[in-house]
Amino acid sequence: MPDEAKVEEPSVIETIAVKVDGKQVAVPKLTPDWQGKLVPTTVLQACKHAGIEIPHYCYHPKLPVAGNCRMCLVHVGMPGRPGPDGKPPMNEDGSLKIDPMVLPYERGTPKGVIGCATNLIPGMEIYASSPETKEMREAVLESLLINHPLDCTICDQAGECKLQEYSMEHGQAESQFAEQKVHKPKAVDLGPRIVLDAERCVLCTRCIRFSADIAGDDALGIVNRGSYNSIATFPGAPFDNNYTLNTADICPVGALTSKDFRFQMRVWFLKETNSLCTGCATGCNTVIGSRENKMYRQEPRENDAVNGPWMCDSGRLDYKWIGSEKRLSKLNGATDWTTILAEITTNLEKAAVTSVAIIASARQTNEELFLLKKLADKFEAITDSVPRNGEGDHLLVNADKNPNSNGARLIGIAGETLGANLPAIAEGIENGTIKSLIVFGEDVTQHGISAALLEKLDLLIVSDIFANATTARAHYLLPGCAYAEKRGTFTNVKGQVQKFMKALDAPGNARAEWEFLHELVENVTGQNGFSTIEGLFNQMAGEVDAFKAKELNWAALGDDGVTVEI
């Protein structure tokens, strides 16, 4: 990459005046490139500023420019070369003379430039919707389609395919092609998670560039020549890094498909819900695709403050458990929520101050942790949550496998080091000072509080979504929700407070933890909290220092979230 073009960020945004479809527009002189470095604005970006979408396949704002698909060819007009006086040719009225570009060797034929790699020149005219530009697009589309199998009916990309979309917007109904199509490999197993249909491929090389330049795994390349070109891996080296599924996302056509999703569901039937990945503390933004209460996929949702447009494969595929038949869906200790909450309230009311301990989970939402903190304050309870450490990587995967460790810290459920209070809690149970334990979402027998200790408790209240050694010993078991079944917020490793929405209904009698916790807190403390997630969040934002400092409120979180001091 050119390393000379170091650009200082200008204090005032300098603009450049160009014409797009006859309309004068001032666009920023510099625009961030794929790495965020400010570089001269291109024709394609200028059109975007002017509200005109230039169709493209190979261009991707977060990948190095390749310029190979030619779909973004645009006819432009340029100022002439300066004459002997050093001045460019002028019109009679003194304005800059702009000449539509023509082929140098055939001056009657318009010449296009690729919008993705052509920098703006002051005075430039971009004929984004002219017949000349339209003709160039039609020709490129025709070329892309002559050897394409046109198998939309069985293609997973149908419905979100750029070939389909551009054919409708910019294509021609018929092709003149009268020859035999090229046949290329189909259903090629590129690796454990990705399948290639080489006939559908438009050879834009997005996948190659992503893998080499973003994932840092130079695993994909092109073999053969000309129209027989095909994406391939090195022989015997499967495409198997932890980011391979992003190539299926950025593949503009149905060439690369996810083994997990292919042939499962037509995309237009999917309900899309903004969510977050809970696999680690990064908190990649996602979109859940579900239909009839079943989750079919989750894809990254672009957020430059967090994950850009990417996410890791392990996080993306970590959702099968949500629909598992082994999910807890029945209350244990009473038959209905009203009774069980009333009984728990009665029992807790009897508990002496400091005789209660709470072990929460850093997989819980800020709101749930906030409510647990309210309970803890009432009993001056000792609290903590369980640390979950693993390996991180160079891109998105964080070593902290809890999605909300920072939430637990900021709200005061846990100290700087998660789990530091667990030995004290164990000791308290052992010596009988702690008689009641509330556990959310953790099997504490795996974290230093043995089953034998649990047996000593007068009261064990547990909420979880799967059965384990702790739930087995609960006096009251409250089935909770997976993240996809509720709303809430997490605070990620960088302090980004972000919200996620509900995509699915919880199984059976399971309820969102914040809902029943809210009731419990009201019963026990007498404080009447908010019964909506928005109200609850806003209440929390007024009480938790770090949130208060940023004057957070639910609506202002938007889709991208807000960063707080950690």
Candidates 120-128, 179-187, 392-400, 449-457 — which segment interacts with another protein by CB under 8 A?
Answer: 179-187
- Select the residue interacting with another protein from 176, 268, 353, 526 (CB under 8 A): 176
Strands 73-79 and 38-40: unpaired
- Residue number, 99 or 349, with CB nearest to another protein: 99
Least gap, CB of 140 to another protein (angstroms): 5
CA–CA separation, 407 and 546 (whole Å): 10
Interacting residues with another protein between 197 and 236 (CB under 8 A): 202-203, 221-222, 224-229
One character per residue 68-87, x = contact with another protein (rule: CB under 8 A) = xxxx-x--------------
Least gap, CB of 8 to another protein (angstroms): 19
Burial class (CB in 10 A: 0-12, 13-18, 19+), 533: buried
- Select the residue interacting with another protein from 6, 81, 85, 105 (CB under 8 A): 105
**Best CA proximity match to 375, nearest among 518, 162, 254, 270:** 518
Least gap, CB of 57 to another protein (angstroms): 8
**Best CA proximity match to 220, nearest among 208, 230, 229:** 208
- Select the residue interacting with another protein from 31, 41, 45, 118 (CB under 8 A): 118
Strands 15-20 and 23-28: antiparallel
- Select the residue interacting with another protein from 179, 325, 391, 416 (CB under 8 A): 179
Return the SS3 of 94. coil
CA–CA separation, 368 and 537 (whole Å): 10
- Residue number, 136 or 371, with CB nearest to another protein: 136
End-to-end CA distance of the chain: 36
Least gap, CB of 153 to another protein (angstroms): 23
- Residue number, 64 or 333, with CB nearest to another protein: 64
Total residue length of the chain? 566
- Residue number, 105 or 268, with CB nearest to another protein: 105
Least gap, CB of 19 to another protein (angstroms): 21
Q: DSSP letter at 389?
A: B
Q: What angle do CA 338, 342, 346 make, to 5 degrees?
A: 175
- Residue number, 136 or 356, with CB nearest to another protein: 136
Least gap, CB of 138 to another protein (angstroms): 9
Strands (E), 396-495: 436-440, 459-464, 476-479, 488-491
Return the SS3 of 523. helix
Strands 125-127 and 38-40: unpaired
User: Beta partners for 110?
Assistant: 102
CA–CA separation, 163 and 440 (whole Å): 48
- Residue number, 109 or 446, with CB nearest to another protein: 109
User: Beta partners for 196?
Assistant: 188, 256
- Select the residue interacting with another protein from 3, 9, 93, 174 (CB under 8 A): 3
Query: Position of tokens 């009897």?
Result: 350
- Select the residue interacting with another protein from 136, 198, 429, 481 (CB under 8 A): 136
Candidates 109-117, 342-350, 361-369, 375-383 — which segment interacts with another protein by CB under 8 A?
Answer: 109-117
- Residue number, 79 or 159, with CB nearest to another protein: 79
Residue 347 C-alpha from the chain's centroid: 43
Q: What angle do CA 150, 151, 156 make, to 5 degrees?
A: 125
What is the total count of residues that contact another protein (CB under 8 A)? 46
Strands 112-114 and 125-127: unpaired
**Other CB atoms within 10 A of residue 446 CB:** 12
- Structural contact between residues 480 and 508, judged by C-beta atoms closer than 8 angstroms: no
Candidates 43-51, 178-186, 277-285, 425-433 — which segment interacts with another protein by CB under 8 A?
Answer: 178-186
Candidates 107-115, 163-171, 239-247, 519-527 — which segment interacts with another protein by CB under 8 A?
Answer: 107-115
Strands (E), 154-282: 188-189, 194-196, 220-223, 230-233, 256-258, 271-276
- Residue number, 93 or 179, with CB nearest to another protein: 179
CA–CA separation, 125 and 203 (whole Å): 30
What are 128's two structure tokens?
A: 């984004």
Least gap, CB of 281 to another protein (angstroms): 37
Interacting residues with another protein between 85 and 104 (CB under 8 A): 103
- Residue number, 142 or 343, with CB nearest to another protein: 142
- Residue number, 227 or 293, with CB nearest to another protein: 227
112 binds another protein (CB under 8 A): yes
- Residue number, 112 or 283, with CB nearest to another protein: 112
Return the SS3 of 20. strand
CA–CA separation, 492 and 552 (whole Å): 15
146 binds another protein (CB under 8 A): yes
- Residue number, 146 or 267, with CB nearest to another protein: 146
- Residue number, 2 or 236, with CB nearest to another protein: 2
**Other CB atoms within 10 A of residue 566 CB:** 15
- Select the residue interacting with another protein from 32, 61, 67, 238 (CB under 8 A): 67
Least gap, CB of 146 to another protein (angstroms): 6
Least gap, CB of 144 to another protein (angstroms): 6
- Select the residue interacting with another protein from 29, 49, 97, 111 (CB under 8 A): 111
Q: DSSP letter at 307?
A: T
Binding site for another protein (CB under 8 A): 1-4, 65-71, 73, 103, 105-106, 109, 111-112, 114, 117-119, 136, 139-140, 142-144, 146-147, 176-180, 182, 202-203, 221-222, 224-229
